[in-house]
Structure 1
Amino acid sequence: MSHDIAALLDGVRALVNDALPLLEARRYDITLKADGSPVTQADIFLEDKLTSWLAERLPGLVVIGEETFDGLATADGNNGWVAVLDPIDGTENFCSGLKEWGVSLSIWRGRQHAGSLLMLPELAEHMMTGRPIRRVRSRITGYSSSIVPEIIGGISEGGEARIFGCAVYNVFNVVRGALARFVNPKGACSWDLLAGLMLAREHGCDVSIDGVQFDGSFLEPDRRYRVDIRHRYDLHSG
């Protein structure tokens, strides 16, 4: 990753942290989307703020954001900058006053990955391309909160299981080893997953998308992807 992209991602971190009081002021201003899921004015505010800030620094930028995606934006035929953004992943947690929510940002030039960032702002945690992480060890499997029979079956088989309600939180923790595995058999969108999947590959996790090993390709925004990520403890000492 170039130093410019590293500096850009650090700038995003600073912007999000500085915006926390403004997000808090909008945290409980909630409306429901057509699918019944919540969106807060904080989601909308932060996506707008990050989109404007990034566009000033990456000429011709196309932003694929959860709150503004219109079904048309794509990386096809675009050799310029593309940002895949979820400003607040885990909105149900966020608007319930929980701290387990995150920001997901993946920057691409055409279809080449430039850098990715995961943030857990209220937990003061982040992970980004090219930066070392401190690994831990766990027996826990994290599951998506989109309950389907595969999740019920997995939990009923025994072992340690958790449902956190935030893809960023789950992927962040499986990459660092605080979860042994993260499973989402129903599927999630590219803005939920892409940054975390690229970081999982960087740090040696086994990553499966729709039952096939993930090769680091760009994920299209108009569909859902089923995910299974395992931390490779055998690759790391301690």
Structure 2
Amino acid sequence: MSICDKIKKIIKDNLEEIVTLKQEKILKNDNSYVSKGDYLCEKLVKEFIKMELPDYALVSEESPEDNKQNWLKDKVIILDPIDGTENFVSGLKEWGVAVCVYEYSKHKESMLALPELDCYLKTGDKYQKYDSRIAGISSSLTKEDILKLEPGFEYRIIGCAVYNMYNVVTGSFHSFENPKGAKVWDIIPGLNLALENGLSVTVNNQEYHGELLDPNQKYIFKVQNR
């Protein structure tokens, strides 16, 4: 069983408890929320790594104090314990868990998990491919940014990168982009699954080839079906 398969099982086994924590939220300094669900997901993965994968380091949105040194280790698991926390604490089901594994700066496997929707996409999975004219865009765009969007597409703003990445890789979205920038744990699993499945991927306006990205900065990106 792969690392992503094992983390998927952990999420499914603990989903009922995770969902009960939707209203247990804390306002952070940047005016975004973190929930006790975020912390529980991270705790579960940390315990799994400690017990079964002690040679791996964790890079996670909720452990910034460890990320500066951990991302330079030989074996790294990158985690967003709950992506789309605003959705999560608002009672929506469109939130996700993002997992990506690197060994010696090479991508090994990734997973996009949408637990309440029971949708999971992992490295090596086969799936039905759609042909869509819908474009997903980041919720960080302003009203002025939205008015400048390229015509010819149906646009969707969901507020969860995992949801958007899942849909662009499976073809339910023609493309997904964030011209404002996002952190590595939000995007790197989806970027690598997009590459694995033959999509076009750019990061900071350059073609992306699966490089391990520094967690201490944001990246603009676009993923699209060819």
For the superposition of Structure 1 and Structure 2, which TM-score range results when normalised by the shorter chain?
over 0.9
**Is 2:194 the counterpart of 1:176?**
no
**Is 2:89 the counterpart of 1:95?**
yes
> TM-score when scaled to structure 2?
0.95
* In 2, Cα distance between equivalents of 1:28 and 1:193: 26
Out of 68, 72, 78, the position equivalent to 2:68 is 72
* In 1, Cα distance between equivalents of 2:107 and 2:42: 21
**Is 2:56 the counterpart of 1:55?**
no
Which residue of structure 2 aligns with residue 227 of structure 1? Answer: 221
1:82-106, Cα deviation, whole Å (9 max, x unpaired): 1100011000001100011111000
* In 2, Cα distance between equivalents of 1:159 and 1:199: 23
* In 1, Cα distance between equivalents of 2:203 and 2:146: 16
SS at structure 2 position matched to 1:223: coil
- Is the contact between residue 135 and residue 177 of structure 1 (CA under 8 Å) also seen in structure 2? yes
* In 1, Cα distance between equivalents of 2:29 and 2:9: 33
SS at structure 1 position matched to 2:71: coil
> TM-score when scaled to structure 1?
0.90
Offset at 1:213? Answer: 0.6
SS at structure 1 position matched to 2:166: helix
1:9-20 counterparts in 2 under 5 A?
9-20=4-15
* In 2, Cα distance between equivalents of 1:220 and 1:55: 23
* In 1, Cα distance between equivalents of 2:5 and 2:114: 14
1:24-63, Cα deviation, whole Å (9 max, x unpaired): 2211011111100001001011101111112322222210
- Is the contact between residue 64 and residue 73 of structure 1 (CA under 8 Å) also seen in structure 2? no
Displacement over 3 Å in runs of 4+? 148-152
* In 1, Cα distance between equivalents of 2:172 and 2:129: 8
**Is 2:169 the counterpart of 1:185?**
no
Structure 2: 5+ residue runs without aligned partners? none
Which residue of structure 2 aligns with residue 154 of structure 1? Answer: 149
What amino acid is the match of 1:128?
A: K
Which residue of structure 2 aligns with residue 139 of structure 1? Answer: 133
**Is 2:7 the counterpart of 1:29?**
no
Offset at 1:158? Answer: 4.9
**Is 2:21 the counterpart of 1:40?**
no
What amino acid is the match of 2:31?
A: G
